[in-house]
Amino acid sequence: MRKGKQQLPKGYILNDYRISEVIGGGGFSLVYRAYHIVSRAKVVIKEYYPTDITYRLPGGRIMPVSDDKEREYNIGIKRFFDEAHALAKVNHPNIVNVSNVFRANNSVYMVMDYKQGPDLRAYIKRHSGALSEKFLRTVFPQVLIGLRALHNRNLLHLDVKPANILIRPGGRPLLIDFGAVQRYTENEKSARTQTLTIGYASIEQHEKGYLGPWTDLYGIGATMYSCIAGTPPPPATDRLARDRISPTTERWSRRYSQELLEAIEWCLQVDGDDRPQSVNELLECCFADDEEEETSTPLPAEANSRWRLPLAWLRSRS
């Protein structure tokens, strides 16, 4: 197998953009910080680069490592291109904007707005968890509504976690980082390598099971758990053998409402069939009075809303 430097170098000119640095990457992509040469606007560029089956030529062009990998590579390019175009059509204030999609270097590139600001991880670290219920009710309905805009186009984020939620003034969240995004098809198992963040990834991501909106909702539950605990829940693989989530959340019953803690547990069910099956299901049960899709103003105080969780799995516990 041919080997060489994977990433594009600093200063590399890619169409209308100049590369500043590599900021991330996974099994099938590299992510760069860059800027538009004319406007000087900072952007994030995601490059299709499946590391196991490709190498890069001097000058930047990407090639399959062998002839028998060419078909796999071309299928991946088409999938990446289709997913990037679908993301570009998602226009929502709680989802980072995809501004451009183009082909170059025998690959595909997706350009996203570069957004700075504190992420939810910083809030959790600053307060060692223990974020208020009012804060959670302000942030998470908006994140869910943005996530629903993705799901409505059959797209899954697959890496929902505190580091991927920026908090803007007024408690307005922005879901960022589409490095793991995939299309999903009902009743079809994932055959692709997953980008996993331990603690926030569901069991079906670890085991290449059936992915769907319930998979992203596991990430939502794990992120809400981190907001109160200060750390993510145990890895989903560990919870298969012994699940300690339920008795753990009971520790916070004096600070948080039973409805909130039960909502977190619902999202964190190990079996995907036992979780909410859609964003709407979670919103209608848990945030019905808080949903403010047409405005970015903070949500009502917790005294003005009631949570309702008519859940079969909860009834079975009593």
> Which three-class secondary structure string do you get for 183-223?
ECCCCCECCCCCCCCCCCCCHHHHCCCECCHHHHHHHHHHH
Nearest one of 66, 35, 36, 42 to 53, comparing CA atoms:
66
5, pLDDT greater than 80: no
Distance between CA atoms of residues 256 and 245, nearest Å: 15
310, pLDDT greater than 60: no
Whether the Cβ atoms of residue 263 and residue 302 lie closer than 8 Å to each other: no
Give mean pLDDT, residues 175-190: 79
Q: What is the pLDDT of residues 275-303, one digit of tens each?
A: 999 999 999 887 766 655 434 444 333 32
Distance between CA atoms of residues 49 and 8, nearest Å: 11
Q: Which residues lie below 8 Å from residue 5, measured CB to CB, with a gap of 6+?
A: 56
Distance between CA atoms of residues 220 and 201, nearest Å: 10
Q: What is the pLDDT of residues 26-63, one digit of tens each?
A: 778 899 999 999 999 999 999 999 988 999 999 999 99
* pTM given for the model: 0.82
Nearest one of 224, 304, 232, 310 to 267, comparing CA atoms:
224
249, pLDDT greater than 80: no
188, pLDDT greater than 80: no
Nearest one of 95, 108, 279, 122 to 178, comparing CA atoms:
95
What are the beta bridge partners of residue 126?
none
pLDDT at res. 290: 60
Distance between CA atoms of residues 202 and 216, nearest Å: 8
